[in-house]
Structure formats: structure tokens, C-alpha cells
Amino acid sequence: MQHLFIQYIYLILIILALVMLANRLKLAYPIVLVLGGLALSFTAAFSKITIDPESVFFIFLPPLLYEAAWQVSWKQFWKWRRVIMSFAFPIVIITSTVIAFVSRACIPGFTLALGFLLGGIISPPDAISATTIMRQVKVHKAMLSIIEGESLLNDASSLIVFRFALAAVITGQFSFQEATGSFFLVIILGTLIGLAVACVFYAIHRWLPTTPSIEIMLTLVTPYCMYYFAEHFHFSGVLAVVSGGMLLSSQRHKLLSYRSRIEGINVWANLAFVLNGIVFLLIGLQLPSIISQLGDDMSLSGAIGYGLVISLALIVTRILCTLGASVFTQFMSHFITVAQDKPGWRNPLIIGWAGMRGVVSLAAALSIPLLINGNQPFPFRNLILFITFIVILVTLVFQGLTLPWIIRKVKPEPVEAIIPEHVQELKMQRKIAHASIQYMEQKIASDEKISDHLKNLYERMKLDLHSYNGLLNGTASENMFKNFQQVYLELLEQQRKALLAMNHKMEFDEELIRKYLSLIDMEEFKIREKVIEEVTQQH
């Protein structure tokens, strides 16, 4: 046990080094982690580390889905709901069907049921890789919202297809009517279980005497409860986590105190980073194990050929589906209101190319049983596993490395006339300042003994409002505002030095010193985030 723990400590250190390398090379870190895992897989120290499918589905998947559900924008999800739903369900089913017929046609002895099994395994794209790359090249937020929304749902639909195909292979029977009914039952009841568990945790957060530490720990436990209860009754644990997570996310300001929200964001951001790093590194580490399982019945070159053919079919199918969805949306815009009546071909092509596969596909392939009917080997299990690995490698590395180039060449079209973020921010600050001034004027008028501190606060708010109006109207100089930011940062540094000097004296309590240092850090964070955004917009 201690040896395994130390081994994973080494893996985390390797992950940190590879992510730093990815940042230096300006590459998406999932690609570098997979390639790093491939390199490590040929070393004796790490060659025997394998993925346990149960660990991926129960330990890694619930928190990653839950964190994604908390980050997704409800407004954007609802706006693009039709596109997201079409990508998450119809496109997954179409992709599984195409892969089923292609694999049966090119692999001797491969049945249609095995083809659907393979299609269900490799149909869901991994959003972490795509969004990491897209954030680096600054695509429109609408495109990111569609891919993130798709990723919340496509794992569930693909795993349901996988489940039915696996049952068909094992039993040798398949009823389309029964499968359709079960499909909707698994989706609906999985969603309802997630919502029910969310309501229980909502009540715990709202009406029990919790502390920030308890609240954060409750958020860590919640996705596991949702996933476990749904899977226990053989419904979709993925949809349970997604639906429950989105419900609680929409109520976060009622559920969590201000300290829990601030501290919880940091906890979840670091947890998601470590979990994603581990799973991408583990993908690369599986190569020796997967190759060794091929055996003598299938040559390595033949298996690679099948994997490349399936990868090509997968990429082409997704692109055709996204372009077809664009045509269908334009047609339906004549009859119903759609988010975008003329999607064009540029944005759908980019979304189609962003279909990298990830750890959910590999975990699903690994979960195929070794034997069926007690003593018969599962047909083509090792080949399915190898093809899945090739598909992940091709889509993640090839598509991932070429996606920035595709985006630059295709030049995505603006989805809508969006006010630039820095202008939105100024307008928000102006509205906040205006509302604050109105409140302070009422307070001053009703209270004759107003303190000097409140008077100073009132004057500061009026000065802020004047500055925001000047920046929006073009009458104020941006250089003056940047000079203010620079001087303010220097002032914060002087305050920090004064507090550190006080800390050397016994008359001041160190906990109070740390409290004020934290407040200065938060103030510096706000100012530096604005500076970073301005530099990013200039480039």
C-alpha cells in the first residue's frame, strides 16, 4: 500500500512537470500528459500501472462531472440547448451506428452487436482537451459553451449504448422496442435520482448548522452519492451527477456562505486539475498492457490498421454530423425560433474537429468482461481495447495538435454581436456604483448623525461612478486608469511590508496579521485579474 501511494506521489510530480512543459511549449496539457505517459510506459517503474474501470467510473468521473456542472453557464446551456441535445444524443447514436457498420465491414468475423459496442465506447468526445486548446486560441464563448454542454451529456448517452450493446453480445438477443424504452427510462430516472439527492443536500446546506469546512466536504461527497444511488438501481449515474450538480449550482448563493464559495472554488479547481492530470497520464501508461493483450491471433500492424480506419470513420462522421446539424438548424429556423438561424459551416467544422476522445472511452473498453456464459472468452475484447487506444491517441494528439491551426485557418464566425468583456465589466461596475450611491443617498437623508467613514465611502462611490462614465464615454484616459492600477498595486505592497514588519513585534497577534495579509492578497488578485484581461484583449 505504501509503495502504491509513493508511486502516485511520483506521478503527481511528473504531471506537474509535464504541465509546466506544456505551458512553456504553449500546448494543451492533456496532449503532453498522454505523450508523457506513453514515454513512461516503457520504463520499468511505471510499466505495470493500469487503469481500473471501476476506479475511473466511480472515483474520477463523478467529481469531474460535478465540477463541470458547477462551471457551466445556465444561460448559455439553455440558449444552445437544442444544439447541445443534438450533439449529446442523436450524434452519439449516429456515430455508434456508422462505427458498427464500418467495423463489421473491415474486420473479419466482427458482428453488428460488437460494432455497436465499439461505437458506444468511442463515440463520446472528451471536452477537457478541446476546451483547454480553445481557451488558448480565444474562440467565441458560445462555441465553448456548446462543447462543455455536450460533454455533460454525451458520456451518459454513449454508456447507455455501450450497456445495451454489451447485453446483446452476451445474450445474443436484441429488441429495438425494449431497448428504446429502457433508454428513456435510464435517462429519465437517472436524472430524477440526481435531482432527489440534490434536494437532500440542499436541505442539509440550508437548515443544518454547517461550517465552511463542512460545506466544502459536503460538496465533495455529493457527486459520489448521486452517482452511486443512480448506478445502484441501474440508471444513469452520469446524468444523475449532471442534473443534480446543475440544480445545486443554480442555488449556490443560497447554499454556501461567502467563505465556502471562495474556499470551495480553490479546492475544486485544484482537485479537478489533479484528477484530470492523473487520468490523461494513465491513458498513455496503458500502451504496454494493451499491446500484450493482443496475443498471437492478431498482428500489431493489422490492429493498428483497423484502429486508423475506425479513427478516420469517427472523425469524418462527427464532422458530417455537425455540418448536417447546421443545415437542419437553418431549415428549422423557418418554423421555430432557434439560437442562430444561419450557423454557416465554419463554426460547425471547428466543433466537429474538436472531437477528441478520452479516458471514459478507455475505461468503458476495459470494463468489457473477460468471459461470457461462464467460460467463453469475450469475442474480440483485446482488439476492441486496442482500437479504442488508437482512436484516443489519434484524435487526442493529431486533432489536438492541429485544432489551433484549423481555428486560425477557418476563422470562426462571430455567433452574435457581443459587447466586449471589458465594456461589459465597466457597465456592470457603473450599475453597481449607481445602485450603491442611491442607497447611500437614502441612508444619508434618513440619518442625521452619519459618520465620517460613511461620508468618505459615499464620496468614493461618486468618484468611481465618474471614472466609469468617463471610460465608457471616452472622456477619460485609459492610461490614467492603468496608472491608478499600478500605483494601487505598489500601495498594496507597501501595506504588506508594514504588516510583515508588525509581525516581528510581540504586541501584534500573528493570526490577525495573516487575516489582513489575506485581504491584501484578495485585493491584489482583483486588480491583477483586470490587468491580465486587458493584456489578453490587446493580443
On whether the CB atoms of residues 63 and 275 are closer than 8 A, the answer is yes
Quote the pTM value. Answer: 0.82
How many angstroms separate the CA atoms of 35 and 14, rounded? 12
> What angle do helix axes 212-232 and 61-71 make, rounded to 10 degrees?
120
The residue ranking higher by pLDDT, 455 or 281, is 281
275-284: per-residue pLDDT in tens?
Answer: 888 888 888 8
The pLDDT, as a whole number, for residue 339 is 62
299-352: per-residue pLDDT in tens?
Answer: 888 889 999 999 999 999 999 998 888 887 777 777 776 666 677 788 888 888
127-169: per-residue pLDDT in tens?
Answer: 677 777 777 666 777 788 888 888 778 877 888 888 888 888 8
User: For the chain, what is the largest distance between any 2 Cα atoms, rounded to a whole number of angstroms?
Assistant: 92
Q: Which of 239-243, 370-374, 436-440 has the lowest mean pLDDT?
A: 370-374
Provide the 10 A C-beta neighbour count for residue 263.
Answer: 16
Please choose, from the candidates 208, 85, 225, 74, the residue with its C-alpha nearest in 3D space to the C-alpha of residue 157.
Answer: 85
User: In the chain, what are the domain boundaries?
Assistant: 2-410, 419-476, 486-539
| Confidence check: pLDDT of 76 > 90 | no
Per DSSP, helices labelled H in 411-509 are 421-446, 452-473, 478-502
How many angstroms separate the CA atoms of 134 and 439, rounded? 42
Instruction: Look up cell 505504501; give the residue.
Output: 2
Q: At 199, is the pLDDT very low, low, confident or very high (cuts 50, 70, 90)?
A: very high
* Domain 2-410 -> CATH class: mainly alpha
Distances (CA, A) of 85 to 93, 146, 263, 332, 455: 12, 10, 33, 15, 53
Q: What is the mean pLDDT of residues 92-120?
A: 91
CA angle 14, 275, 20 (to 5 degrees): 35
| Confidence check: pLDDT of 415 > 60 | yes
| Confidence check: pLDDT of 532 > 60 | no
Name beta bridge partners: 372.
376
The pLDDT, as a whole number, for residue 535 is 39
Q: Provide, for the chain, the percentages of residues in helix, strand and coil under a 3-state DSSP scheme, each rounded to the nearest 5.
A: 80, 0, 20
On whether the CB atoms of residues 21 and 15 are closer than 8 A, the answer is no
Q: What is the mean pLDDT of residues 183-206?
A: 92
